[in-house]
């Protein structure tokens, strides 16, 4: 199948404001693009891209004083298959993990493992290991948090999500990642496009999605505590320790986000939207 995806963001800045944007597909998905992603700015401004320490494509700009519209669009091939499920995938003893994986066992800004370690071991320390343990964490997180955009708060940590029992997709991912790390399963935060392909209507408002990956049996595997079911059509944009590393926009000065639109649709080869 083919998936059309993109976003439009509008910022009002009282002064020239440097910005760091994560608005491009992850390099691992670039071979699936039917054409290079379009990135446009109105008014036109210079920009440059680089790969960060996690392998994500980042864009640097200086937004001019006034209004700036940022738009992206892409069409990607996708297998049309749901996320793989490998229930026999095993958990590695910590001492056998590759050196570069250890960072994903440590606490980070939003994944405050020190506050949830005792709880995690009490909840999951005596149950299954490996894939089964991660799935148990997803089941718990999915039922623990009540979803609602009115509950969004950019400062909420995993432990706060645990106690407040409300949030949005990033909070589900942060809590699940943190609980995995607490019980010695390397986990990393992911963001990208995830439409409603293969799910029943009514569909909610489209937004960027957050999910996570865990390291089992020598490979990374996708899990999604928010939806808690295998889904079709994920387009990865960035991975990191938590939302700090993969923020869609990091701004270095005062600004107001005046408009924000995300779209993800299945399309035919000619670009026509597939109507469900």
Residue spans per domain, the chain: 2-78+248-267, 94-243
- Per residue of the chain (276 residues), what is the pLDDT tens digit? 999 999 999 999 999 999 999 999 999 999 999 999 999 999 999 999 999 999 999 999 999 999 999 999 999 999 999 999 999 999 999 999 999 999 999 999 999 999 999 999 999 999 899 999 999 999 999 999 999 989 999 999 999 999 999 999 999 999 999 999 999 999 999 999 999 988 887 777 788 999 999 999 999 999 999 999 999 999 999 999 999 999 999 999 999 999 999 999 999 877 787 765
Peptide bond into 230 cis (omega under 30): no
Is residue 162 a contact partner of residue 175, using CB atoms and an 8 Å limit?
A: yes
141 CB neighbour count, 10 Å cutoff: 28
Q: Which residues pair with 39 in a beta bridge?
A: 72
Q: Does domain 94-243 have CATH number 3.10.620.30?
A: yes
- How far, in Å, CA of 227 to CA of 39, rounded? 29
- Strands across the sheet with 209-216, in order? 219-223, 209-216, 187-193, 235-240
Is residue 5 a contact partner of residue 220, using CB atoms and an 8 Å limit?
A: no
Please choose, from the candidates 158, 193, 167, 180, the residue with its C-alpha nearest in 3D space to the C-alpha of residue 26.
193
CA 12 to chain centre: 25
Q: What is the pTM of this model?
A: 0.95
- Which are the contacts of 161, defined by CB distance < 8 A and separation ≥ 6? 145, 167, 171, 172, 174, 175
In words, the CATH class of domain 2-78+248-267 is mainly beta
Angle at CA of residue 262, ends 260 and 263, nearest 5°:
150
Q: Which residues pair with 249 in a beta bridge?
A: 21
């Amino acid at each position: 199948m083919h998936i059309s995806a993109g976003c439009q963001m509008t910022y009002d800045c009282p002064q020239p404001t440097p910005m760091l944007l994560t608005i491009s597909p992850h390099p691992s998905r670039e071979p699936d693009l039917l054409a290079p992603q379009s990135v446009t700015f109105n008014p036109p401004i210079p920009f440059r891209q680089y790969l960060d320490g996690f392998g994500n494509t980042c864009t640097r700009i200086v937004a001019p004083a006034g209004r700036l519209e940022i738009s992206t669009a892409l069409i990607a091939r996708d297998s049309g298959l749901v996320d793989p499920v490998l229930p026999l995938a095993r958990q590695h003893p910590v001492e056998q993990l590759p050196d570069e994986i250890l960072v994903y066992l440590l606490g980070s800004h939003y994944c405050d493992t020190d506050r949830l370690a005792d709880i995690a071991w009490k909840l999951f320390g005596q149950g299954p290991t490996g894939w089964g343990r991660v799935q148990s964490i997803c089941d718990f997180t999915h039922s623990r948090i009540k979803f609602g955009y009115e509950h969004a708060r950019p400062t909420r940590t995993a432990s706060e999500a645990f106690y407040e029992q409300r949030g949005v997709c990033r909070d589900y991912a942060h809590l699940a990642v943190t609980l995995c790390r607490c019980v010695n399963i390397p986990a990393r935060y992911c963001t990208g496009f995830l439409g409603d392909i293969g799910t029943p209507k009514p569909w909610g408002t489209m937004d960027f999605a957050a999910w996570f990956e865990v390291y089992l049996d020598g490979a990374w595997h996708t899990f999604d505590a928010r939806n808690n079911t295998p889904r079709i059509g994920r387009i990865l944009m960035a991975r990191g320790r938590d939302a700090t590393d993969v923020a869609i926009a990091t701004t270095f000065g005062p600004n107001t986000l005046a408009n924000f639109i995300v779209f993800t649709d299945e399309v035919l080869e000619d670009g026509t939207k597939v109507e469900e």
